[in-house]
Amino acid sequence: MYEEISQNKRNSFILIIIFVAGIVFLGYLFGLVAGFGPGAMIFAFIISALMALAGYFNGDKIVLAVSRAQLAAREKYPQLYNIVEELTIASGLPMPKLYIVHDGDAPNAFATGRDPAHSSIAVTTALLNRLNRTELQGVLAHELSHVGDYDILFATLIGILVGMVAMFSDFFLRYTFWTGGGRRKNSSGGSGAGVLMVIALILAILAPLFALIIQLTVSRQREYLADANAALMTRYPEGLASALEKISRNPGVLEVSNRATQHLYIISPIKSIRDRKKSSLFSTHPPVAERIRRLRGMAGNMASGVKADGSLT
């Protein structure tokens, strides 16, 4: 547990460094191609540093706003508050802020924030309407596990930075495409500029792809771990297993999710049912059938492993 936390913090730090360095390098290339010189690099550094800071301190707000999540009123959702409060007792974590995504077709949920004291959990209205109490408890325990081991910090940063990288390279591609690197006549290296432009183009295409692969490989392992922690928290793995079954059987597509936020959700919000069953390099989540199988396996172990006092042997 403590290892997970420090690993997540370290990864988040490395991610920020790589992000800033990457953007500065892109700025450098951009400066060469467009003929702005080192000024573009300094500009890129300031912008990327500001974005990394914004991602750290306000990443949760950005993710929640992009997902059109609204703060849940306790009077309107007493059961949601009850279940999460129960789980904070079971886990010893502080109470997160609760949000609602108004989508009546796609049951799903995600957690975001930078640490347990600044965390938020969002659920869709379809999740509240279609799952029973123990299933909801399983899903919320899974999200609270992400909060507890600081997965939310890394996942939120990844989401923000993936979005940024995509935006940057998009801008970069369009600029060089429209102007054809028009100002290169003013720069000193006249003939080399064409080669640089090609390199820059390749980089602009590769950057978001790299970001995507990091996003994918990291989040898949974390899902299994959060499932296991949720089972330990509730001592009832069947709740989450049956919830996953229900959610994955639902064909509804979550409109508000996108490429930068999909890895945050408990089940991939944009994949079709058929795709959810198999795992490939490009799926952010492990196959649901495998997750359910592991949870049901735990249920068997727990029945024999729980002592009369409720503690695990």
Where in the sequence numbering do the catalytic residues fall?
143
- What does DSSP assign to residue 308? T
Q: Given the rule CB under 8 A, which of 76-84, 162-170, 241-249, 267-275 is the region that contacts another protein?
A: 76-84
134 touches another protein (CB under 8 A): yes
137 touches another protein (CB under 8 A): yes
Least Cβ distance, residue 3 to another protein (angstroms): 16
* Nearest residue (CB) to another protein, 141 versus 218: 141
Torsion of CA 278, 282, 283, 284, to 10 degrees: 160
* Nearest residue (CB) to another protein, 16 versus 144: 144
Helix crossing, 237-249 with 288-305: angle to 10°?
160
Least Cβ distance, residue 79 to another protein (angstroms): 6
Q: Given the rule CB under 8 A, which of 46-54, 74-82, 151-159, 204-212 is the region that contacts another protein?
A: 74-82
- The span from the CA of 144 to the CA of 87, in Å, is 8
129 touches another protein (CB under 8 A): no
Least Cβ distance, residue 147 to another protein (angstroms): 16
Residue with tokens 């490989």: 217
Q: Which residues contact 247 (CB under 8 A, 6 or more apart)?
A: 107, 108, 127, 131, 139, 266, 267, 288
Beta strands 118-124 and 69-71 are unpaired
- Given the rule CB under 8 A, which residues bind another protein? 78-79, 82-83, 85-87, 89-92, 133-134, 137, 234-236, 239, 306, 308-311
